[in-house]
Amino acid sequence: MKKRHFIPFFTITLTTFLLLVFLNSAYAKRSLPQPGATEEYFSENKNYRIEIKYLGEQPDKIVEVTLYEKDIKKWQKFYPVHPGLINVSDNGSRIVFANWGWYDEGGFKSLTICDGQGNVLKELMFSEIQESKRGYKDSLLWLHDAAISGNGDYYAMGTYGKEKAGIYLLDIKKATLLWQQACGYERLEDIKVFGNGSVLVATSDYPSGKLLFSILNNLGQGLWEKSCSWRISHTVADYLKIAGDSFGVLNTLDNDFITFQVKDRNIYPRNEFLIYKGGVGAIKCGMSIESLYFLYPYSIIKLLDLHAGEFSPFIGICFDGNRPSLLAELGWSNEKGWILNRIWVYDHRFKTETGIAVNSTLGDVKKANVISWITSNENRDVIGYIQELQIVFLIESSHVPEEFYKSHEVSLVPEDAKILAIGTPGGKIFSGPRCTSYFFPKLP
């Protein structure tokens, strides 16, 4: 009989108490900073730093604000506000202060919008933009976080909600609210806004232990959502990386970041159409199937048996209808489960850095890269290899002379022969043409 392990009631009670304290810490009463206290705020790219010094309850000089660019002091000014959140754009063109209205309870009343020289462009009261469900204007917002786009055009704010976080997007130049939406889980953990007005939101649900990432475009429309299990000891920064208009979300199974870019009001995998060593677009050899479903919707991912052996499971990525643009051979890893081994490309949109793609000619390949060898397999497929890129490519063989299959002389293959497919061997470096087991799976 197995022993049963009982958790002492005291341990459960203490754990519950600590969790409740943690969850409610954001709502604890605050005290105004003492005169002389200082705080620092940075732009996302760390090029700009704002230093705030609290001066006390002087009518026109509550805070002293100093802006630094690369540690060079640009200006210093005084403002009659109590800022609680401060954001400066990556280009230094806009600075936004979110100002306390009810400090001890965490309520914000307004935004002070300044240009890069610290001149006030607009004082925007939340009573002007916040319409309550009770039919009148609310004068306060309980902000948890805010962000400004790198170009200074957009400003996003987020609040906790009873079921979902509240997200607000403003046009900074016009100082107007573009939209207000409920989004994700109830607790807002982080918020970012890109130069095109798309908003990235991280929200959490502590009872389920889930962290949810959501993207909304500049019209407030949901574009994308991904969830992962969140350890309470980790921060959002452990799961999220931001670089310009790209962002990466951690897949804990692969312990790697899946990177996306935001453009044209949509989300795309980063380097979506690039062929490189060990990968194609956002797909890498050795990647888990779970990561693949992070990248693409279920509807375009197909499980196929191409009958290349007794059972030959492949994954097809179908960007256009049912014809796969990519095929990936499935393998097994004791750590990750099903993984992607070799990857084959059949879509001309995918290119190497040197411009080689499906429908390029052999002459194009010779101009762009050094061909290590060209060989043929038992099916008389003509296959070439580029060591520098570690890719193989299938060559049109209709005009290849019979002599080639005996000598494998590269010069015998016509330079106008087209490339029909490109493959990444997934770490299996091809040292020479003697092995004839190279193959390209036939599209279904």
The strand pair at 72-79 and 63-69 is best described as antiparallel
Least confident of 103-112, 356-365, 420-429: 420-429
- For residue 265 the two structure tokens come to 């009001």
Domain 28-230 shares a fold with domain 271-444: no
Contact (CB, 8 A) for 126 and 180: no
**Higher per-residue pLDDT: 213 or 306:** 213
| CATH 3.90.1170.50 describes domain 271-444 | no
Q: How far apart are CA 387 and CA 369, in angstroms?
A: 9
Q: Is the pLDDT of residue 169 over 90?
A: yes
Stretch 249-272: mean pLDDT: 78
SS3 92: coil
Q: Is the pLDDT of residue 138 over 80?
A: no
For 236, what's the count of Cα atoms within 13 Å in the CB-facing half-sphere? 18
Percent of the chain with pLDDT over 90: 50
pLDDT at 3: 34
User: Which residues have CB under 8 Å from 312's CB, separation 6+?
Assistant: 305, 306, 329, 441
SS3 359: coil
Instruction: Determine the residue type at 96.
Output: V
pLDDT at 309: 59
Tens of pLDDT, residue by residue over 55-108, are 987 767 899 999 999 989 999 999 998 899 999 999 999 999 999 988 777 899
pLDDT at 253: 75
Stretch 396-409: mean pLDDT: 93
Contact (CB, 8 A) for 176 and 111: no
Q: List the 391-395 sheet strands across, edge first.
A: 301-305, 313-317, 326-333, 337-345, 419-424, 391-395, 382-386, 373-376
| CATH 2.130.10.10 describes domain 28-230 | yes
Place of tokens 């087991």: 437
The strand pair at 63-69 and 48-54 is best described as antiparallel
Q: How far is CA 143 from CA 78, 85, 103, 167, 215, in A?
A: 24, 9, 12, 10, 19
Q: How far apart are CA 260 and CA 247, in angstroms?
A: 5
Q: Where are the domains of the chain?
A: 28-230, 271-444
pLDDT at 14: 40
pLDDT band at 21 (very low <50, low <70, confident <90, very high): very low
Polymer length of the chain:
444
CA 362 to chain centre: 36
SS3 25: helix
